[in-house]
A and B are shown apart, each in its own frame.
Chain A
Amino acid sequence: MKQQECVALLLAGGQGSRLGGLTRNRAKPAVSFCGKYRIIDFSLSNCTYSNINTVGILIQYKPFLLNSYIGLGSAWDLDNPFSGVHILPPFLGDSEGRWYNGTANAVYQNYEFIDFYTPEYVIILSGDHVYKMDYNLMLQFHKEKDSEITIATIQVRNEEASRFGILTVDEDARVTKFTEKPLQPDSNLASMGVYIFNWSILKQALIEDNLDYQSENDFGKNILPQQLKQERRVYGYNFHGYWRDVGTIESYYHANMESLREGHFLNIFDPKFRVFSNEDILPPHFVGSSAEIKNSLICNGCIVHGKVTNSILAPGVYVGKEVEITDSILLPYVKVHKGSVLVKTIVGENAEIMRHCNVGSNGGTVPNQEGITVIEDYHLLPMGSIVEAGENVTRTR
Chain B
Amino acid sequence: MSNAIGIIFANSGSDSLQGLALDRPLAAVPFGGRYRILDFALSSMVNSGIRTIGLVAPRQYRPLLDHLGSGKDWFLERKDGGLFILPGVMHGLAGNNHTLCIKDLQHNLEYLQKDYAENVVVSSGNQIYNINFMESLEFHKAKHADVTLIYKGNDDSSDQTNEIFLEMSEGHKVYNIIDKKSLESRIPPPSRFVNMLIIRREVLLDIVEKYSSIGCIDLIDIFSVNLEILKIYGSPTCSLIGTIRTLKDYFDRSMDLLDLGVRGKLWLGTDQIHTKIKDNPPTLYTSHAKVSNSLIASGCSISGEVINSIIFRGVIVEQGCKIENSIILPKCHIRAHAQTDYAILDKSVIVNGDNVLKGSLPNPLVVLKSTVI
Contacts and interface: CB of A to CB of B under 8 A. Distances in A.
7 contacts: A74-B72, A275-B281, A283-B32, A284-B311, A286-B295, A288-B293, A293-B289
B183 interface: no
Nearest to A311: B285
B168 interface: no
A145 interface: no
A291 B291 contact: yes
Interface string A160-174: 000000000000000
Contacts of B266: 283
B291 to A, nearest CB: 5
Contacts of A262: 284, 286
A277 B282 CA distance: 12
Contact of A295 (B285, B294, B306): B285
Main secondary structure of the interface of A (DSSP, over half): loop
B274 interface: yes
B283 interface: yes
Contacts of B311: 284
A297 B283 contact: yes
Given A262-B286, A283-B273, A300-B297, A293 B291 contact: yes
B285 A284 contact: no
A296 B263 contact: no
A287 B285 CA distance: 12
Contacts of B89: none
B279 A294 contact: no
A315 B277 CA distance: 15
Contact of B272 (A36, A274, A282, A289): A282
Contacts of A299: 282-283, 298
B292 interface: yes
Contact of A298 (B280, B283, B290): B283
Given A291-B292, A295-B287, A286 B274 contact: no
A366 interface: no
B201 interface: no
A275 B281 CA distance: 8
A284 B287 contact: no
B296 interface: yes
A277 B263 CA distance: 26
Contacts of B289: 293-294
A199 B124 CA distance: 58
B317 to A, nearest CB: 13
Contact of A283 (B263, B281, B284): B263
A287 B277 CA distance: 22
B337 interface: no
Contacts of A298: 282-283, 285, 296
Nearest to B267: A283
B285 A283 contact: no
B54 interface: no
A34 B298 contact: no
Given A279-B279, A284-B297, A288-B292, A294 B285 contact: yes
Closest 7 CB pairs of A and B: A284-B33, A283-B267, A284-B297, A35-B282, A297-B282, A268-B281, A289-B293
Contacts of A281: 272-275
Interface of B: 32-34, 72, 258, 263, 266-267, 272-275, 277, 279-299, 301, 306, 310-311
A300 B281 contact: no
A35 B283 CA distance: 10
Nearest to A285: B296
A349 B150 CA distance: 40
Contacts of A277: 279
A283 B279 contact: no
Contacts of A276: 279
Nearest to A277: B279
Nearest to B290: A292
Nearest to A296: B285
User: Which of A275, A288, A300 has most chain B Cβ within 10 Å?
Assistant: A300
Nearest to A298: B283
Contact of A293 (B273, B285, B298): B285
Contacts of A292: 290
Contacts of B301: 269
A297 B284 contact: yes
Contacts of A285: 283, 295-296
A269 to B, nearest CB: 5
A284 B284 contact: no
B321 to A, nearest CB: 16
Contacts of A289: 292-293
Interface string A92-112: 000000000000000000000
Contact of B294 (A74, A287, A297, A312): A287
Contacts of B274: 281
User: Which of A281, A282, A287, A300 has most chain B Cβ within 10 Å?
Assistant: A287
B319 to A, nearest CB: 12
User: Which of A34, A281, A283, A291 has most chain B Cβ within 10 Å?
Assistant: A283
Contacts of B310: 284
A295 B288 CA distance: 8
Contacts of B288: 294
A307 to B, nearest CB: 12
A131 to B, nearest CB: 16
B292 A36 contact: no
A386 B276 CA distance: 43
A291 B290 CA distance: 9
Contacts of A283: 32-34, 263, 266-267, 272-273, 295
A72 B62 CA distance: 29
Interface string A253-278: 00000001010000011000011110
Contacts of A294: 285-289
A340 to B, nearest CB: 20
A106 to B, nearest CB: 30
B279 A284 contact: no
A306 to B, nearest CB: 13
Contacts of A296: 284-285
Given A36-B282, A285-B295, A297-B285, 17 more contacts: A35-B282, A36-B281, A268-B281, A269-B299, A284-B296, A284-B311, A286-B263, A286-B295, A287-B291, A287-B295, A293-B291, A294-B289, A298-B285, A299-B282, A299-B283, A300-B297, A312-B282
